[in-house]
Amino acid sequence: MDFFAAQALARKRTSRLLALFALAVAGTIAAAYLAAIYILQFTEAGSSQRAIYGDYDPRSSALVLWQPHVFGYVAAGTVLVVGLASLYKWKQYSAGGSVVAESVGGRRIDPGTRDLKERRLLNVVEEMAIASGTPVPAVYVLDDEGAINAFAAGLTTSDAVVAVTRGTLEKLNRDELQGVVGHEFSHILNGDMRLNLRLAAALFGILVIGLAGRGILFSLRHARMRPRGKNNGGGILLVAVSAGIALMIVGYVGYFFGRIIQAAVSRQREFLADASAVQFTRNPIGLTGALKKIGGYALGSKMESSKSAAIGHFFFAQAFRAGLTGLWSTHPPLEERIRALEPGFDGRYFEPPEVVDVARESFVDAGLAQPPPLAGFAPPPPAPPVIGSLAPAAASAGVQAIGSLSADQIINARLLLDATPPDLRAAAHTADGARSVVFGVLLDLDGAVRARQRALVATRAGAEAARQLDAFDASLRALRPEHKLPLLQVALPALRRIPAAELAAFLDTLDELVHADARVSPFEFALQKLLTHTLELGKTPARAVVQYHSFQAVADEISIVLSALARAATSDAAWAERAFAAGGTELKLVEARLRFVSESAASLPALDAALDKLAAASLPIKQRILAAAARVVTADGRLLITEAELLRAVAAALDCPMPPLGS
C-alpha cells in the first residue's frame, strides 16, 4: 500500500473510531441514567428532588424508568465530562510524541551517546528515517522495563518518537532490533500514530467518570456515619457513597466498551505492520526472532509500569494481560503473528541461555550475553551510492516511493551515512555540533563569500561555532551534494532540542548565511525550507490540519510552485515555460487555470508562502502536485542532484516523506 492510500485509510479508520466512540458514550449515558434514577428513588436525598421532576408519582413507590428531565441532565453532563476530559488529554498529546514517551517514564537517548546498545539503536533508526525520507525521530528508552517491547508516537513525522524498553536493547540482536523498528516505522508511515493518540484520548474521556467515582470513595474512606437526626449527616454520606459507587460503575461500563473498541482497532493493524516490516528489511527472520524471544522469556512483552496501560495499543506486542478471554487483547496472539510470517513454525519459542529470577535480578546483573546473530539470512548486495546526475525516471519513481521503505533503500541509506565524513556525522549528534554542521553545509565555495559567512557565524553564534567551522573545513569541502540532506536529517534530533528562545536566533542566522551572496540557490532554499518546516512543525504538531479539499482553492499556489521549479531547472525562459506546461498535464482538473507566472511572482519568498498553504491541502491534492513537480524538473531530459533535493524539499514541506532519489 502506498503512502497516500495508507493515510487515506487511516483517516477512514478515524471516522469509524468516532462512530464507535459515540456508541460507547451512549452506553455510558444509559448506565449513568439508570444509576441516577436509582439514587433518586432510593436515597433520602431523593425525596427533595422528587418534587422537581413531574414524572415522579408521590402516591406510588414504583420506580418510574423514563424520566426525561433526568435523562436530559445526565446526557448533557456525561457528554460534557467525557468531551472535556478527551479534549484535555488530546491537548496534552498535541504537544508531540515526546510527551507520550516521557509520560510513561521514557528517557530520551542522547544522540551523542557512547553506550554501544543505544548507539546501535540510533543507527538503525537513522538508516530507516533516511531511507524513507522522514525526519529522524527522537529515540527513547524505558529503563525500568525488562520486557521486550517498543512503540512509536506522534502526530506527524516531524514530532514522531520511537521508544523501546531496556529489555529490547539487551535481548535483541541487530536483525531483530531492525525488525521491531521497521514495525514501528510502518505505524509512522501508515498514519497509525495519530489514530492511536485519538483513541487514547477518547478512552481517557470515558474512563474519567470512573476515576471521579473512585476519587469520591477514596476521599470518604475515613468518614463515619452519624446517627439520624444530627444534621442528617448520615443521609448526606450515604448519597456521597452512592454517587461514588454509581460513578465507578458507570465509568467502568464505558471503559469496558472503550477497551473493546481499542483492542479491535489495534489488532487489525498489527498484521499489516508485521508484513510491512518484513518488506522493509527483506528479512523475516529478524522480526520472527524478536517475536519468538517474547514468547521464550519469562517477562515476554509485559510492561511493569501502570503508566503504560493507557497506551497499551501503541506497543509492538501485548503490553498487559488481556482479560475477558482475549477480548481486550490489543495484539493478535504471538503464534498467529509468527505463522503469518513463517508458515512452518513448529510452536517452539526461543529458549533463554539461563533462567533469571526476574523478581530479584535483572538480565544485565545476571550477565547474560547478547545471543549471536540469526543464521540463514543473506542480505541483498549493496546498491551503489547516488552520484552525479540521476536518470529522469528517478523523479517520478521518488513520488511513487513516498512514505515507503525497502531493503535496498535501507542499504543505500547505510552507504550514504558510511560515506559521510565521520567528524561531521559525530558532530551532528550534539546540540552545538549540529548547528555548526548546518552552518557548514551552507558555506560558499567562493573564498570571499565564505569568509563573510564565517564572520557572520562568529558574530551571531559565537567564537566556538566559528572555531568548529574551521575544524570541519576539510570535511565540509569533501562533502558530496547527495550526502548533505541525509546529514541534516541526522542532525534534526539534536536541533529539535534547541530551546524555543534560541530557535529563532538560529533560524535568523541560517537565513543570513543563505543570503550572504545576495542570491539563493535551489539547494539553499531546499535546506532552509526543510529545516524550518520540520523544526516548527515539531514544536507545534497540532497545526498540521487539512483545510483545502479542492484543487480550485489552491490553483494559484500550484502555479507558483510549478513556475518556481521550472525556472530553477533551467535559465532558458522558453524552456521553463515548456517545463511548466509539462507539469500542468498532471493536473487535469485545474490545467486550464494554471498560469506560468513571472520571475518576481515565483520568487523564493512567494514559493515559501505557497508551500505553507499547500501543506494544508488534502493528500490527493499533494500527490498530484508532486507528480506535476516531478514532470517539471525532468522536462529537459535530465535530473541534477540539486533538482532532486529541491523536489525532496517540496515534498517535505507538504509533509510527504520522499526517500533519496535513485535509492
Q: CB neighbours of 12 closer than 8 A, spacing ≥ 6?
A: none
CB 149 within 8 A of CB 303: yes
Q: Taking the C-alpha atoms of 130, 192, 173 and 140 in order, what is their torsion angle to the nearest 10 degrees?
A: 80
* C-beta pairs of 225-234 under 8 Å, 24+ apart in sequence: 232/44
Cα dihedral sign for 514, 517, 523, 525? positive
Q: For the beta carbon of residue 14, count every other beta carbon within 10 angstroms.
A: 15
The CA-atom distances, in angstroms, between 332 and each of 17, 178, 266, 321 are 19, 21, 9, 13
Angle in degrees, 0-180, between the axes of helices 604-614 and 522-539, rounded to the nearest 10: 40
Name which of 354, 351, 316 is nearest 332 in CA terms: 316
Cβ(167)–Cβ(145) below 8 Å: yes
* Alpha-carbon span 12 to 8, nearest angstrom: 6
Q: Any residues with CB less than 8 A from the CB of 270 and at least 6 apart, and which?
A: 331, 332, 337
Residue (of 231, 248, 247, 155) closest to 193 by Cα position: 155
Amino acid symbol at 196: N
Given 126, 127, 145, 184, which residue is catalytic?
A: 184
Q: Could you tell me which of 169, 171, 170 has the C-alpha nearest to residue 124?
A: 169
Respond yes or no: is residue 184 known to be catalytic.
yes
CB atoms within 10 A of CB 61: 7
Q: Where are the beta strands (DSSP E) in 85-137?
A: 107-108
Would you name the residues annotated as active-site residues?
184
